Amino acid sequence: MTPMALITQLLQIVSALAAAPLFIGWVNQCRAWLGNRSAPSVWLPYRSLRKLFHKEAVIAEGASPLFRVTPYVVFGAMTLAAAIIPSMGTRLPLTLAADAIALVGLLATARVFQSLAAIDIGTAFGTLGARREMMVGFLAEPALLMVIFVASLISATTALPAIAESLATRSFGLYPSLAFTAVAFTMVLLAENARIPIDNPATHLELTMIHEAQLLEYSARHLALMEWAAALKLFNYACIGFALFVPWGVSTRAGGPAALFASIPLLALKLMVAGAALAVIETVSAKLRVFRAPEFLGFAFVFAVLGLLVHLLLGA
């Protein structure tokens, strides 16, 4: 392990942890602007995290140890995911441990723990949210895997840094297959991060919520970790999207420290654009009924498989 790789790795983890709440704040601000409301500060997520960390934690009666452990597991899984997604550099020592398919498994682990913890308390809303989450998850996961397979086929590897590097360094061409999978990936991102067509992140109306319903029983530092993990998840998904579809600007194996530092403002720019785009999508679309979610994710799957088939047939 060279010092350069270590620096890249550390920089990436620290910046993901630090920037994830900011990204959520930026998306919320864009949403408020588009909705013609006065926007909250972009720093609001940090303040609410600080507030939550200073409160006294209350745990429901009859909660099993699983309930206490879950916030740490979920947060840890998201941090590890942030470590193996090449958002700034492709020289990441930790990625030897996990390729793109293991990454999907890591995200699934977090989901399983979160759902189990929601069921653990035994309240009606927690169970309801957990069931819906699992429904969305089992439909979104195959679509996400298909998206990753297309990129893997094009670059002949399943390691995310290698995919990003090979896509970033090849000459520019029109890839209909990547265009299709980009659409599929956007749909998966919306569904997995509880964004609008599937779930409304701002809602506290119990009957329609999915993600929020699972966090109802958490308080103080546990809630803070869960919310931070949710922010990290969105950040991670955005970075997976960048690695697969707009990998330009990532510092590659050949690049020195200058390339690594040049990739920081580029990542910030990509995140700003992606956050604004996310806010636009959320503003122009209406929330679907829960029973239409399978159709939405079915489309995502079809898009991804079409991308795969088109790549196999046309080689493009």
Partner 1 sequence: MAGVPIDLQLLNLCAALLLLLSFAMLAQRRIVNLVNLLALQGALLLCATLLLAWRTGQAHLYVSALLTLALKVLFLPWLLHRLIRRLQVYWDSEPLLNIPVTMLAGLAVVVFAFGLAQPISALGSTATRNSIGIALAVVLLSFITMITRRKAMSQVVGFLSMENGLFFGAMSATYGMPMVVEFGVALDVLVAVLVLGVFFFQIREQFDSLDLQHLEKLREEAAAAGGGGNTSGGDN
Q: Which of residues 270-299 bind partner 1 (CB under 8 A)?
A: 294-295, 298-299
Residue-wise burial string across 205-235, b where 16 or more C-beta atoms lie within 10 A, e elsewhere: eeeebbbbbbbbbbbbbbbbbbbbbbbbbbb
Q: Is 142 in the site for partner 1 (CB under 8 A)?
A: no
Lookup: tokens for 3: 């010092």
Q: Is 306 in the site for partner 1 (CB under 8 A)?
A: yes
Round to whole Å and give the CA distance between 250 and 244.
Answer: 11
| Residue 7 vs 302, nearer CB to partner 1 | 302
Site size for partner 1 (CB under 8 A): 23
One-letter identity of residue 232: L
Q: Is 314 in the site for partner 1 (CB under 8 A)?
A: yes
Round to whole Å and give the CA distance between 234 and 240.
Answer: 10
**254 CB contacts (<8 Å, ≥6 apart)?**
none
Q: Is 316 in the site for partner 1 (CB under 8 A)?
A: yes
Q: Is 180 in the site for partner 1 (CB under 8 A)?
A: yes
Q: Is 146 in the site for partner 1 (CB under 8 A)?
A: no
Q: Is 313 in the site for partner 1 (CB under 8 A)?
A: yes
Q: Is 36 in the site for partner 1 (CB under 8 A)?
A: no
Closest contact distance (angstroms) between CB of 310 and partner 1 is 5
Which DSSP category does 158 fall into?
-
CA distance between the termini of the chain: 36
Q: Is 256 in the site for partner 1 (CB under 8 A)?
A: no
Binds partner 1 by CB under 8 A, chosen from 12, 177, 214, 251: 177
Residues pairing with 89 in the sheet: 251
Q: Is 302 in the site for partner 1 (CB under 8 A)?
A: yes
Token pair 């699992």: residue:
134
Binds partner 1 by CB under 8 A, chosen from 170, 204, 206, 257: 170
Residues in contact with partner 1 by CB under 8 A are: 170-171, 173-177, 179-180, 294-295, 298-299, 302, 305-306, 309-310, 312-316
